[in-house]
Amino acid sequence: MKNFVLRFAMLLLTASVLISATIPGDGYKIGDTATDFELKNVNGEMVSLSDYPDAKGYIVIFTCNECPYAKMYEDRINDLNNKYASQGYPVIAIMPNDPNIQPGDSYENMQQRAESKGFTFPYLIDEGQEVFPQYGASKTPHVFLLNADKVVKYIGAIDNNARDAASADQKYVEDAIQALEAGNDPDPATTKAIGCGIKVKS
Amino acid sequence: MYLLVFLLCQWLLSTSMTNVSPMPVKVKFSDSIEYKVFQSFEELEALLGEASDEDILVVNFWATWCAPCVKELPYFESFLKTNQSKKIRVLLISLDFPKHIQSRFVPFIENHQLKSELYVLDDPNENEWIDKVDASWSGTIPATLFMKGDQRIFTDQEMHSVDDIEHYIKKL
């Protein structure tokens, strides 16, 4: 009987560890190593982090067409890529929403937006919605800055003023890249901002 | 002539200055729907702090651009209606941007004839105030805070019925 209780307790423990490891939305913490992905770009090509062997880091941004917050950051995301891709930190944007719930975020609409806004970075669709839960992205826009070894170094917002780029006096992502360049850990390593929840199949 | 232009500029400048008030701006409509704009989170905090220990406060963060928020608003409204005799207040905190208050927020509250207490929070420093609402909040909306005295229950889950709201109230 004692043996049975022990075994049952072990079973419960194992189950709880398994459950906690698979809870969606848990995602990456600072210091975790991100897994690579292979997602379709608006030009039809598949894109992975491994396509950038010389990268010193990766600016992975979950964003979309429809969210007003994401729209306000479109030009700033383009600016980030134009400034930092040549320095070894490319922007890789991922659209995590289910287009069946938000038709404005369909692949075709993503292609149109990338064209009309002149995106200089890959704009990938998270078909099957498997990548954003791994990262723990909860909203758009949501930035994950990785170093060359794909270690997560910064999670959060692009800067501290969504509605007006000129009024943003803390440029979180740019400051985080500068910290990495100086061999330091970004401070703050995480920030919060209002955003649109990711639209998931129910 | 130059003097006239100069005076006109001065006058325009002074009137535009008076519009930038640090205090909540109260606006009344012909159909008596009222709302206040908070320029900082501290003003909202002060309002919540004034509540008596017996008051139950339901504080919902939303915006007209947020589809799931708009979908759950009727549940808060009918919850308020069925609990009017009790010490329950429903505060709808809109995060609509200042430039959209007149063009989107005002038409919305007029069309829907909202009966809850209506506020707009215009504090861009989200990284500072989101944690003050609740440390577990990532910043997605809708989000709702249930308060009674020192008790606070926070959720970023969408309400799918009045029962969902009642469920949290019972926990207080």
pLDDT digits (tens, 9 = 90+) for B81-131: 999 888 999 999 999 999 999 999 999 999 999 999 999 999 999 999 999
Q: Evaluate if residue A25 carries a pLDDT over 50.
A: no
Contact B139 A195 (CB under 8 A): yes
Task: Please state, in angstroms and rounded to a whole number, the distance separating the CA atoms of residues B34 and A110.
Answer: 39
**Model confidence at B7, in pLDDT bands (50, 70, 90)?**
very low
Residue A26 tokens, joined: 């848990």
Q: How far apart are CA B44 and CA B60, in angstroms?
A: 12
Report the residue of chain A nearest B125, measured CA to CA: A160
Q: Locate tokens 């002060």: which residue? A: B46
Please check the confidence at residue A16 and state whether its pLDDT lies above 70.
Answer: no
Q: Report CA A193 to chain centroid distance, whole Å.
A: 14
pLDDT at A38 over 60: yes
Query: pLDDT at position B6, please?
Result: 47
Architecture of the B27-171 domain: 3-Layer(aba) Sandwich (3.40)
φ and ψ at residue B122, rounded to 5 degrees = -110, 70
Selected residues 105-164 of chain A with any CB under 8 Å from a CB in chain B: 138-139, 156-157, 160-164
Cβ separation B127–A194 shorter than 8 A: no
Token couple for A78: 């383009």
Residue A60 pLDDT greater than 60, yes or no:
yes
Q: Beta B35-38 vs B117-121: how paired, if at all?
A: parallel
Per-residue pLDDT of A152-193, as tens digits, reads 999 999 999 999 999 999 999 999 999 999 999 999 999 999
Please tell me the predicted confidence (pLDDT) of residue B86. Answer: 86
- Residue boundaries of the structural domains of chain A: 27-197
Can you give the residue ranges of every domain in chain B?
27-171
Band of residue A42 on the pLDDT scale cut at 50, 70, 90:
very high
Q: Would you give the distance in Å from CA A136 to the centre of its chain? A: 8
Percent of chain A whose predicted confidence (pLDDT) is above 90 = 86
Confidence band of B31 (pLDDT split at 50, 70, 90): low
Q: Which residue has the tokens 């560890």?
A: A17
Report the alpha-carbon distance of residue A200 to residue A97 in Å, rounded: 6
Q: What is the distance in angstroms between the Cα of A188 and the nearest Cα belonging to chain B? A: 10
With 90 as the cut, is the pLDDT of residue A7 above it?
no
| Homologous superfamily assigned to A27-197 | Glutaredoxin (3.40.30.10)
Residues of A in contact with B124 (CB under 8 A): 160-164, 167
Instruction: Look at strands A91-95 and A123-125 and give their pairing.
Output: parallel
How far apart CA A154 and CA A144 sit, in angstroms, is 6
The amino acid at B71: K
pLDDT of residue A21: 40
Q: Report ipTM (2 d.p.).
A: 0.82
What is the per-residue pLDDT for B13? 43
